[in-house]
Amino acid sequence: MVSRRGFLAGGAAAAASGAVGIAAGAAGASLAAEADLETFAASRQAEFYGPHQSGIELDIQAVTNMVAFDIKESVTKADMLRWMRLLTDDIARLTAGEPVLADPAPELAIGAARFTAYVGFGPSLFSKLGLESQMPEGFAELPAFGVDQLQERYSGGDVLIHIAADDPVVLAHGTRGLVRDSMPFASVRWVQPGFAHSPGMIPAGLTHRNLMGQVDGTANPELGSSDFDSVVWINDGPQWIKGGTLLVFRRIAMQLDTWDQLGIPSKEEVIGRKLSNGAPLTGEQETDVPDLGARHPNGLLVIPEFAHIRRAAPQESGERIFRRPFSYDNGMNERGSMDVGLLWTAYQRDISKQYLPIQRRLEQLDLLNQWTVPIGSAVFAVPGGVQGSELLAEALFS
């Protein structure tokens, strides 16, 4: 965010020196501004040290790898701490745009590109290590839902490293470093790559679009707000989870062939929002509050009974989540049907009180279910951030 402002200021400075009319100076400045413009994504840097791990309360990056691991049989708490020592140092360096220690390809550290990575732990890790007493409140495997068609290869895992950046090469290089340092302790269970818009595609604060075309993320708590804090960041319970959060991950396939057969009005009724700008069907702008009581002259609800946002809207005050979904594109079959969807993520303090009641309502009725199928699922408890020489999850494994 800081660098984006810096970039804007640079542009303004170039414009100003142009206005003064010193020809050479103006040309030099605009050349510099152009060079800045070409490489602005490289220099933008996320914050690693702080009360929370990075890559959650952040405008979504361009590309991601979610990597889930199963620990080796002999692994102990002490081994976990050694793993966390390696990851803490690696992530700090990669976030700063530097190679990790012992990097066999340091030349690939070409810019921070808002690299982030955070670590989370699945319920299975707590039982394998006998750490059940350290499980946060409202954290457990999800029950089965009627809409589920889950596949093992996309589900579960003892440990998650969720990596993201604004550049695919930076992402691949960082992923390689983190996975290399994980191999003494665990094996890879699954990796799920995803993406959002490239940097420079949409202004800050504008909500991204998913592959169904919808503006997706409007009703989220605002980054940096106290609302965000109270929905997402845990402030009690075991020491290690303070400043952390609970993640529900769902791989949700989109059936675009049948979705594309719908006309625009039907597509808009499925969600309850307009495709053009994400405004509720009862408003003009994305930020307008949906009027769930509004009716057409013929008496029908403007935002229908089956609309996704009606069903997903909180019924009790605490039933809110922060969603940060990346898209995935896993190729296509011989008939040209694309294997696409969302790496759907929801962050919250308490899964049982926040995600679960919403999902139960959507399971019963949500017209969107006709074009979306959950095919992967996992939950992870994400420890708080680190300061100074602390290690990630140090209090859990010490």
Catalytic residues: 216
* Cβ atoms 100, 94 nearer than 8 A: yes
| Shortest reach from residue 279's CB to ligand HEM, in Å | 10
89 binds another protein (CB under 8 A): yes
Question: Binding partner of residue 348 among another protein, ligand HEM, none, CB under 5 to 8 Å per kind?
Answer: none
Question: Binding partner of residue 362 among another protein, ligand HEM, none, CB under 5 to 8 Å per kind?
Answer: ligand HEM
Question: Binding partner of residue 184 among ligand HEM, another protein, none, CB under 5 to 8 Å per kind?
Answer: another protein
Question: Binding partner of residue 96 among another protein, ligand HEM, none, CB under 5 to 8 Å per kind?
Answer: none
Q: 257 Cβ partners below 8 Å, 6+ apart?
A: 337
Structure tokens at 268: 């808009």
Interior/surface letters 89-124, b for 16+ CB within 10 angstroms, e for the rest: bbbbbbbebebbeebeeeeebebbbbbbbbbbbbbb
- Residue of 183, 188, 264, 365 that binds another protein (CB under 8 A): 183
81 binds another protein (CB under 8 A): yes
| Shortest reach from residue 303's CB to ligand HEM, in Å | 10
252 binds ligand HEM (CB under 6 A): yes
- Residue of 25, 104, 143, 318 that binds another protein (CB under 8 A): 104
Give dist(CA 368, CA 346) in Å, integer.
18
Binding segment toward another protein, per CB under 8 A, in 80-88, 132-140, 146-154, 262-270: 80-88
- Residue of 1, 18, 36, 85 that binds another protein (CB under 8 A): 85
- Residue of 162, 267, 274, 308 that binds ligand HEM (CB under 6 A): 308
* Cβ atoms 94, 164 nearer than 8 A: no
| Shortest reach from residue 365's CB to ligand HEM, in Å | 13
Question: Binding partner of residue 216 among another protein, ligand HEM, none, CB under 5 to 8 Å per kind?
Answer: ligand HEM
* Cβ atoms 182, 87 nearer than 8 A: yes
- Residue of 219, 241, 279, 351 that binds ligand HEM (CB under 6 A): 219
180 binds another protein (CB under 8 A): yes
Residues in contact with another protein by the rule CB under 8 A: 79, 81-86, 89, 101-102, 104, 180-181, 183-185
